Structure 1
Amino acid sequence: MAENGSASPANNDAGGAPEQAQQSEHLNIKVTDSNNEVFFKIKRTTQLKKLMDAFCERQGKTPQSCRFLFDGQRVNPTDNPELLDMQDGDTLEVHQEQIGGC
C-alpha cells in the first residue's frame, strides 16, 4: 500500500510540476537597441554571455562595442537571469560602448 500511496502523489506531482517548472525554468527576454528588438528564450541559469554574443552576431556588432543594461545597471557576461531576478518578458537594453571624453 505504501508503494501505491507514494506512487500516486509522485505521478500527480510529476504531472503538475513539469508545467510549472517549464514556465519558470525558461524566460523570454527582449534585447533592444535603438533600432532593433530581438527576443530570446533562455533558461534562468544560462549565462547572459550566450545571449549577448547571439545578439551581437545577428546585428553584426562586436561584443566589446556593446554595453548591456538591465534596469539601468550594467550586465556582466557571467550574470544569469536568476542572479539578476529577471522575470519573463523583461528587457535588456543595448548601447554603444564609448570610452573617453572631452
Structure 2
Amino acid sequence: MVSSSTTISASTASKSRSLTPQRKITLKVKTQQDGREDVYKIGYNAHMKKLMDACCTKRNFEKDTVRFIFGRKELKPRQTPAQLMMEEGDIIDLVTEQGGG
C-alpha cells in the first residue's frame, strides 16, 4: 500500500501574533473503497475544511460526494483537531457516496 504525505499550511492570519509556532498534527485519511491512505500534516487549531479540500483535490473527488468520518461521527468543516481531541497518527475514514437513486 502506497501512502503519500501532504502538509497543509494554515493561511488564516491571526490578529494576535504568537511567538510560538503553531502545533502541527499528522493525520491519515483512509479511503474505505480501496484502503489507500494519505498522510496530512495540519495545524492543531486549523479547520478540518483545509484537510478536506486538500484531500478532495488530491483524489479528484467532488466535495459533496464524500464524507469524512472520525470516531463514528461525520466531520464538519469548521471543526479542528483540537476540538476533536485528535492525536498524532489518528485515522480519518473517507467514505464516497455511491451515485444512483
| Post-superposition CA distance 1:7-39 (Å, at most 9, x none) | xxxxxxxxxxxxxx77x9111000010322110
Partner of 1:15: none
Larger radius of gyration: 1
Name the SS for the 2:82 alignment partner. helix
Partner of 1:64: 64
Code of the residue aligned with 2:54 in structure 1: it is: A
Instruction: Please give the TM-score of this superposition, normalised by the length of structure 2.
Output: 0.71
* Runs of 4+ in structure 1 over 4 Å off: 98-101
After superposition, the CA RMSD in angstroms is 2.3
Partner of 2:23: 25
> 1 or 2, which has the higher helix percentage?
1
CA separation in 2, counterparts of 1:84 and 1:100?
33
Taking only the aligned residue pairs, the percentage that are identical comes to 31
Question: How many aligned positions are there?
Answer: 81
Partner of 2:76: 76
Name the SS for the 1:84 alignment partner. coil
Instruction: Please give the TM-score of this superposition, normalised by the length of structure 1.
Output: 0.70
Name the SS for the 1:83 alignment partner. coil
CA separation in 1, counterparts of 2:80 and 2:98?
24
> 1 or 2, which has the higher strand percentage?
2
Q: Which runs of 5+ in 2 are unaligned?
A: 1-19
Cα deviation for residue 97 of structure 1 reads 2.8
Q: Which runs of 5+ in 1 are unaligned?
A: 1-20
